[in-house]
């Protein structure tokens, strides 16, 4: 199957022939009241250029939610109201076969283009309590502003429970929340619906650790091994079944305390596991035992493989 995502172009011939100003994005330029350059003519929806709610940049976001809210504002304003549109985050969701992918705010490329200094975090969790039947994996990538910890964007992938996580992240971005706030969000939990630590909380924990500098991490999409000691802390049967990264030494997390003599002091140590949590624990353990230069590989072995390692 081939999916062609060719984008959406605004049809603005009518607006042009009426002498309305067309913005740099190709849409009919509007102000917050949804007025075009002629205050007696309003523009909304796919053909209108509005603004991105997070960056404030001029934007044309061709989605039904923004179109409907803009229409409501324009309609009310034509009747004398004074409503203002605050922009869109581009929150969107799509199902492809049994997979769902949701998105809100900025991705890495957009954050770079907008001039943000940022880091990303990656977490893999379950759609609901792992011991309750039917749980499936949920993968979350956060884009977080360096220094402030403010959430800039989120991408969520999996089979179930994607919509509610994306909507929580969209609300968090709209509320200018930080990853510390995500750690403490009090979200609904019973085993069929979520976990005592919801995937949103877990994403906040990991991003919070990175933001506060609690632990050094390396991102598989940007980091290339350069003489570090690559420590695989998964169990031996996992390594035998799934393979390991080139040059990695396997010391299972449960044996690490007793096998510290096998870990060198003269090199940086990059620990990894399957998804990231045990690698994080290993890096903490090593740091507590005097190995100053340790890091955790974000997203673990699974992410490294996805990045072509
Ligand atoms: C296949 C598909 C799936 C989509 N799925 C989603 C989704 O799941 N979620 C989401 O958020 N967005 C989705 N969208 C996008 C969403 O439909 C649009 O963003 C939204 O409809 C834009 O609203 P609008 O009022 O600007 O334009 P439209 O809804 O396209 O309305 C424009 C109207 O103007 C009429 N018109 C055009 N020219 C003239 C003319 N000369 N004279 C009189 N009338 C005219 C058209 O017939 C149409 O009725 C989807 C779009 C497509 C094509």
Summarised one tens digit per residue, pLDDT across range 183-202 is 999 999 999 999 999 999 99
- For the chain, the structural domain boundaries read 13-78, 92-212, 217-306
What homologous superfamily does CATH list for 217-306?
Rhodanese-like domain (3.40.250.10)
List Cβ neighbours of 300 (8 Å cut-off, separation of 6 or more).
124, 272, 273, 274, 275, 276, 278, 279
Instruction: Determine the 3-state secondary structure of 103 from DSSP.
Output: strand
Segment 32-91, tens digit of pLDDT: 999 999 999 999 999 999 999 999 999 999 999 999 999 999 999 999 999 999 999 999
Mutate to test the pocket of ligand 1, among 62, 65, 68, 73 (most ligand atoms within 8 A of CB): 62
In the block, tokens 């910890």 appear at: 149
Residue 264 pLDDT class (50, 70, 90 cuts): very high
Does the pTM exceed 0.85?
Answer: yes
Give the Cβ contact number of residue 60 at 10 Å: 23
Cα(274)–Cα(281) distance, integer angstroms: 13
Atom of ligand 1 nearest to the CA of 48: 26
pLDDT for position 4: 85
pLDDT of residue 165: 98
Q: Is the pLDDT of residue 109 over 90?
A: yes
Mean pLDDT in residue range 13-28: 97
Q: For a pocket test of ligand 1, which of 4, 64, 95, 167 has the largest count of ligand atoms closer than 8 A to its C-beta?
A: 64
Residue 42 CA to ligand 1 center (angstroms) comes to 17
Judge contact between 64 and 79, C-beta under 8 A.
no
Looking at domain 13-78, its CATH class is alpha beta
* CATH dotted code for 92-212: 3.50.50.60
Question: Which pLDDT score is estimated for 222?
Answer: 82
CA of 25 to the centre of ligand 1 (A): 18
pLDDT at 132: 97
Report d(CA 101, CA 304) in Å as an integer.
Answer: 20
User: 92-212 and 217-306: same fold?
Assistant: no
């Amino acid at each position: 199957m081939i999916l062609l995502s060719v984008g959406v172009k605004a049809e603005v011939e009518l607006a042009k022939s009426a002498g309305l100003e067309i913005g740099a994005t190709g849409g009919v330029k509007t102000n917050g009241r949804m007025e075009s350059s002629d205050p007696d003519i309003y523009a909304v929806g796919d053909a209108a250029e509005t603004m991105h709610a997070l960056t404030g940049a001029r934007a044309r976001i061709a989605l039904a939610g923004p179109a409907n809210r803009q229409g409501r504002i324009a309609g009310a304003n034509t009747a004398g109201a004074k409503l203002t549109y605050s922009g869109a985050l581009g929150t969107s969701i799509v199902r492809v076969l049994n997979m769902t992918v949701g998105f809100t705010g900025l991705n890495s490329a957009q954050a770079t283009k907008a001039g943000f200094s940022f880091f990303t975090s990656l977490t893999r969790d379950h759609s609901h309590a792992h011991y309750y039947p039917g749980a499936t994996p949920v993968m979350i990538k956060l884009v977080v502003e360096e220094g402030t910890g403010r959430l800039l964007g989120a991408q969520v992938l999996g089979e179930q429970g994607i919509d509610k996580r994306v909507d929580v992240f969209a609300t968090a971005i709209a509320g200018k929340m930080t990853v510390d706030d995500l750690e403490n969000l009090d979200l609904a939990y019973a085993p069929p619906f979520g976990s005592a630590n919801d995937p949103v909380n877990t994403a906040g924990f990991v991003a919070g650790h990175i933001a506060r500098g609690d632990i050094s991490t390396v991102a598989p999409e940007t980091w290339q091994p350069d003489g570090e000691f690559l420590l695989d802390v998964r169990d031996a049967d996992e390594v035998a079944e799934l393979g390991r990264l080139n040059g990695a030494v396997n010391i299972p997390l449960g044996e690490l305390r007793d096998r510290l003599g096998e870990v060198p002091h003269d090199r940086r140590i990059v620990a990894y596991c399957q998804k990231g949590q045990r690698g994080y624990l290993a890096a903490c353990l090593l740091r507590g035992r005097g190995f100053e230069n340790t890091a955790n590989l974000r997203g673990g072995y699974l992410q490294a493989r996805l990045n072509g390692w």
